[in-house]
Amino acid sequence: GQNIDQPTEMTATEGAIVQINCTYQTSGFNGLFWYQQHAGEAPTFLSYNVLDGLEEKGRFSSFLSRSKGYSYLLLKELQMKDSASYLCAVMDSNYQLIWGAGTKLIIKP
């Protein structure tokens, strides 16, 4: 079956760095997405990786290793507004998104 695993919850301190991991097993691979979802709101797009390596976008970076079925989202200089759930999703061979359950990130002052 298809599976996306990510930690349920993480806690970090304002100003610090946090890495949220995602491992996947899917039928085919056509890219990996990271979304941010604040409580009670819709998910919003953060990043997309289809080739191995690091994609940097401001304070956020996303890494992909296809051979290991592994990705991480790196958040630097954490701000209180970064408190949210972070969703990992893989596009499979049918171009359908398979979603992880999300990682709830709690930022403490």
Partner 1 sequence: IAGITQAPTSQILAAGRRMTLRCTQDMRHNAMYWYRQDLGLGLRLIHYSNTAGTTGKGEVPDGYSVSRANTDDFPLTLASAVPSQTSVYFCASSASGGDVNTEAFFGQGTRLTVV
Kindly list the residues in this chain that would bind partner 1 in the complex (CB under 8 A): 4, 8, 30-31, 33, 41-45, 48, 50, 87, 89, 91, 94-102
Residue 44 C-beta: closest distance to partner 1, Å: 7
State how far the Cα of 77 lies from the Cα of 66, in Å rounded to an integer. Answer: 27
Do 3 and 96 touch, CB atoms closer than 8 A?
no
Do 34 and 46 touch, CB atoms closer than 8 A?
yes
Of residues 70 and 99, the one with the C-beta less far from partner 1: 99
Number of other residues whose CB lies within 10 A of the CB of residue 78: 19
Of residues 20 and 87, the one with the C-beta less far from partner 1: 87
Of residues 80 and 95, the one with the C-beta less far from partner 1: 95
Torsion angle of alpha carbons 73, 45, 53, 30, nearest 10°? Answer: 120
State how far the Cα of 91 lies from the Cα of 27, in Å rounded to an integer. Answer: 9
Of residues 72 and 78, the one with the C-beta less far from partner 1: 72
Residue 49 C-beta: closest distance to partner 1, Å: 10
Residue 38 C-beta: closest distance to partner 1, Å: 11
